[in-house]
Structure 1
């Protein structure tokens, strides 16, 4: 190894990272103009472009290094590269992201093998996120008080966050906010000139909305708030509602939604502030939510491995009906499932291993509409063998032997996805029926139908719509999580089942009509609800239109014409009155 090789590689990695951050910011900063122009398809395009950007830059830098260095597998080289790189990033205000980018380059060159802290950043040198009071927090948020009263504050807030198009009706929006505040907060808080409001400088953009995010400090408490801003598509914007309940705020930042487009200069400070607003969200989830999904993966890995060291329970087969494409296991003490592609699929599944991977990448890039769980992909993940139950090891060797290496002390899983653990909808419904909780069944079936419809509005057809492929979150929302049959709605051919020509055809084992690969017969969805009359009654009452091919064809037409349907991350009942709209 030449003494200068390590420095050259370090510089190539840092140059690549700098280029990535520059492009990431440039893409993100286009969101404001797209929102103001009501160009919703462009915003979705920006989201996908930003996700693709990371892998493109990593591949480019990997090729540069391979071309410049004769032996990229030299351990002595990489020990030197890491030392040089540390000296280069020590002054950066995005050092944690630069470490993760380095790790991505290293893993791409080593095939995710030889993972050691000596050669890469298994443990971050940036340490824990710094405390906010030790930082120049003025870079993150504006600070307001109520010294001049509530109305002047709200007026100033809307002025400070104005867009290139005007507020549709500023006075009405202020009036709506006043009503909300007076109902939600005690009178002495509203009138206290010691109350402090901190609002993040950057506006959060996603789909058809912009979000103003902050918190209110009063009486030794801090309450988060979000003000969703919508474009009326006639040259004006308006405050749609206010959210101050921590659960409502958490849902806006849900793992089931597309990443925000938000301008972030100092990521660690930004994440610390967000975490103070939503402490129930992990640091990993928050990095994911603002588009740094690789950093989210790194934070998840560190948090998970720390959890492994501090606990003793064993990995086990995840509860629920076994899948025909994936085998799924979990650690009871950690809210995540691990999904591995099986070696052989059930004969009913016409898909390949590469096809499954492509489906998961589709979900990563697509608008998840609040109804699809985000995933993280891992290669050659090493876990302690002693933490695997014998039943699970037997299952893995039987159905996914090509993806698992079982050693004396460790189990290496060559490829898997992690996903938030939820209660499978079929199990949830069975439990509620057993308890005679008809209200819970009604709400879950309503959520199921809304999930299917909102996915369709986002140009997604779930494919296999059995209840076992959907989960119930801690907020009671129903989310789709089994992606091996997912496809674009516009690729489907929705048909009615032809009438049989004579009775014997209907009794035959095979269909009496021709069926092409993309043919979908919504009438067959009744099989979902055939199990229980109460479920069938609720489904037919709430979402019986899903059994009609015409509903699906009409949705296809809307999607094909470029319509982006309004999907709110909050209940429509929470929306403010807009009468009069101007």
Structure 2
């Protein structure tokens, strides 16, 4: 029996998806080995490789399609519609069917340049949108507490699939139990049915391994995260065998949400059933969008699919219109928002302000750099869209007029549709400059301290933000300061941090004519103050909190550490929450 072109097309796409999934699982499964061996550089490279993998496999599959089928077949929407039907049947029993649908969409959009977005030709909506089918696979392990919280924590740690031993399990479980006693609701602490439940899979990221689940009892439940780290210095004492320790115990929903933040690198975690895995995580973090949870566990392309579906649902409600984003307008980007969706949309202007010496291609490369880099909880993740199409009446007229004026090559009108050729989306935050104008003096001090910490933590990850103006940072609902303007971002090791020579400074102040030779990558931290703060009181406070940021020697020392191969991790919880042990690490 001769197979139809549509069936063969569907089978070819599925073959490409299988190749992608096999390699994705291989990289992810090796995370336990990297953690065991403290192979931190390997972990960084694996993270970037896994992000690049999706585009590589889409391109490989595209090449296979072009070699196998004529242009007429590939360019025919109805053929793709038939292929969609066959493909849905082929993946109907798969545990990762939703990821397979997104892969199909990626090929369709590559062929049609993100046009013809219709559900009859691709998976605008899932083929199993209303299905209640469950796999029957058990995702979790459970243990009754029976009044013995140290024992329950010991079970949680010892039964986890770690190959390294713990330095002092008794100490860890004692400290953990004391923390639980201080944090848990009395109803759980005193319940006869209290139990710990943990996902069987370990969440690996950078230098940390996280056990994730919940504690329940007495009709109540709280999330539970147990961060496990390598004990500093223990490997040498034990003949090179790295030992582990429990770093803290987290039970607050907001704390867990920060660990899964859109500002952090994706976890390496083995996921048997993606849909059910995300459903479980959403029970722990009910305010976290599905798309962000998919992205957090590595499926960032399907996270984009879920984001797009959620956006379509929100736009259809017609609660509000797209408007110009509040705050100072950017020199490179035009930014607009749909307020009810808590998302910003960013497009690159046709012409930049004279102070910006970059091109469209350079800006797009900067955003790609951040996507692939460890964002250390301080840089917002982005999604990239092509030929984004919305009805004209969903835009505030002033907003649309502005976009058409500053980016006519990107934004156009066709009948009653607005077509945006290319844009980025990010989570909406309050611009730092606006936050500082509206908050109390105590809040100013706190957020300025976090602003400096954000700069330091990005630097530790080999990222220099370039433009450190307040307007380029935002404040999340948790009060954390996040960088979100990437057109001048670069690797810290590419910069040349310099002290201003005293002779030049003195000559300049006396009106002399001596000049200072400055290269394109030269940076003088002593000049940061007036550049970052127009308000002298805020500048004074910030300089008291973070004096080292204005000293070139501080930056030079960080550069040397990075060049020497030191991997500095930034842990996603506050230093005061940690148990004794690890010194000199950057946290939160």
- The TM-score, its normalising length taken from structure 2, stands at 0.94
- Output aligned runs, 1:337-352, within 5 Å: 337-352=344-359
1:125 is aligned to 127
Task: State the Cα distance separating 1:217 from its structure 2 match.
Answer: 1.6
2:462 is aligned to 459
Inter-partner Cα distance in structure 2 for 1:469 and 1:104? 32
Checking the alignment, whether the CA contact within 8 Å between 1:17 and 1:101 is kept in structure 2 is yes
Task: State the Cα distance separating 1:327 from its structure 2 match.
Answer: 0.4
2:85 is aligned to 83
Compare 11-20 and 558-567 and name the one that shifted more: 558-567
Partner of residue 300 from structure 2, selected from 290, 293, 306: 293
Checking the alignment, whether the CA contact within 8 Å between 1:500 and 1:506 is kept in structure 2 is no
Inter-partner Cα distance in structure 1 for 2:120 and 2:164? 53
Inter-partner Cα distance in structure 2 for 1:520 and 1:322? 25
Task: State the Cα distance separating 1:365 from its structure 2 match.
Answer: 0.3
Structure 1 consecutive aligned stretches of length 4 or more whose deviation exceeds 6 Å: 507-511
1:225 is aligned to 224
Inter-partner Cα distance in structure 2 for 1:571 and 1:65? 50
Checking the alignment, whether the CA contact within 8 Å between 2:150 and 2:176 is kept in structure 1 is no
SS in 2 for 1:118: coil
1:241 is aligned to 248
Inter-partner Cα distance in structure 2 for 1:572 and 1:263? 29
1:273 is aligned to 280
1:184 is aligned to 183
2:487 is aligned to 484
Task: State the Cα distance separating 1:129 from its structure 2 match.
Answer: 7.6
Checking the alignment, whether the CA contact within 8 Å between 1:529 and 1:535 is kept in structure 2 is no
C-alpha spacing 1:306/1:256, structure 2 compared with 1 (3 Å): same
Deviations, residues 347-380 of structure 1 (Å, cap 9, x unaligned) = 2212111111100000000000100000000000
2:336 is aligned to 329
- Output aligned runs, 1:441-460, within 5 Å: 441-460=444-463
2:170 is aligned to 171
C-alpha spacing 1:141/1:395, structure 2 compared with 1 (3 Å): same
Compare 218-227 and 465-474 and name the one that shifted more: 218-227
Checking the alignment, whether the CA contact within 8 Å between 1:252 and 1:570 is kept in structure 2 is yes
SS in 2 for 1:115: coil
Task: State the Cα distance separating 1:125 from its structure 2 match.
Answer: 1.2
SS in 1 for 2:388: strand
Task: State the Cα distance separating 1:578 from its structure 2 match.
Answer: 4.5
2:6 is aligned to 6
Task: State the Cα distance separating 1:336 from its structure 2 match.
Answer: 0.3
Compare 120-129 and 395-404 and name the one that shifted more: 120-129
Task: State the Cα distance separating 1:515 from its structure 2 match.
Answer: 1.4
Compare 484-493 and 146-155 and name the one that shifted more: 146-155
The unaligned stretches of length 5 or more in structure 1 are: none
Task: State the Cα distance separating 1:501 from its structure 2 match.
Answer: 5.5
Compare 303-312 and 526-535 and name the one that shifted more: 526-535
C-alpha spacing 1:502/1:165, structure 2 compared with 1 (3 Å): closer
Checking the alignment, whether the CA contact within 8 Å between 1:385 and 1:407 is kept in structure 2 is no
2:54 is aligned to 54
1:374 aligns to 2:381 (yes or no): yes
Deviations, residues 41-72 of structure 1 (Å, cap 9, x unaligned) = 11111110000000000000011111111121
2:433 is aligned to 426
C-alpha spacing 1:311/1:218, structure 2 compared with 1 (3 Å): farther
1:304 aligns to 2:307 (yes or no): no
Task: State the Cα distance separating 1:502 from its structure 2 match.
Answer: 9.1
Checking the alignment, whether the CA contact within 8 Å between 1:500 and 1:512 is kept in structure 2 is no
2:524 is aligned to 521
Partner of residue 399 from structure 1, selected from 399, 402, 406: 406
Inter-partner Cα distance in structure 2 for 1:100 and 1:373? 23
Task: State the Cα distance separating 1:505 from its structure 2 match.
Answer: 4.6
1:531 is aligned to 534
Inter-partner Cα distance in structure 1 for 2:11 and 2:44? 33
2:586 is aligned to none
1:560 is aligned to 563
Compare 32-41 and 528-537 and name the one that shifted more: 528-537
Partner of residue 317 from structure 1, selected from 319, 324, 331: 324
Compare 172-181 and 443-452 and name the one that shifted more: 172-181
**Aligned-residue CA RMSD in angstroms?**
1.9
Task: State the Cα distance separating 1:219 from its structure 2 match.
Answer: 2.2
C-alpha spacing 1:295/1:371, structure 2 compared with 1 (3 Å): same
Inter-partner Cα distance in structure 1 for 2:119 and 2:187? 54
1:32 aligns to 2:32 (yes or no): yes
The unaligned stretches of length 5 or more in structure 2 are: 236-241, 583-588
- The TM-score, its normalising length taken from structure 1, stands at 0.95
Inter-partner Cα distance in structure 2 for 1:188 and 1:126? 39
1:512 is aligned to 515
Partner of residue 113 from structure 2, selected from 106, 111, 116: 111
Checking the alignment, whether the CA contact within 8 Å between 1:288 and 1:296 is kept in structure 2 is yes
Deviations, residues 506-525 of structure 1 (Å, cap 9, x unaligned) = 58899921211111111110
Inter-partner Cα distance in structure 1 for 2:313 and 2:269? 30
C-alpha spacing 1:245/1:501, structure 2 compared with 1 (3 Å): closer
Inter-partner Cα distance in structure 2 for 1:236 and 1:333? 48
- Output aligned runs, 1:124-203, within 5 Å: 124-127=126-129, 130=132, 136=136, 138=138, 140-147=139-146, 149-186=148-185, 189-203=188-202
Task: State the Cα distance separating 1:431 from its structure 2 match.
Answer: 1.6
Deviations, residues 430-487 of structure 1 (Å, cap 9, x unaligned) = 122xxxx211111111011000000000000000000010000100000100000000
Compare 503-512 and 20-29 and name the one that shifted more: 503-512
Task: State the Cα distance separating 1:3 from its structure 2 match.
Answer: 5.7
2:76 is aligned to 74
Task: State the Cα distance separating 1:491 from its structure 2 match.
Answer: 0.2
Inter-partner Cα distance in structure 1 for 2:77 and 2:468? 49
Task: State the Cα distance separating 1:216 from its structure 2 match.
Answer: 1.2
Task: State the Cα distance separating 1:148 from its structure 2 match.
Answer: 7.4
Compare 520-529 and 7-16 and name the one that shifted more: 520-529
Checking the alignment, whether the CA contact within 8 Å between 1:376 and 1:418 is kept in structure 2 is yes
Inter-partner Cα distance in structure 1 for 2:345 and 2:570? 29
C-alpha spacing 1:130/1:240, structure 2 compared with 1 (3 Å): farther
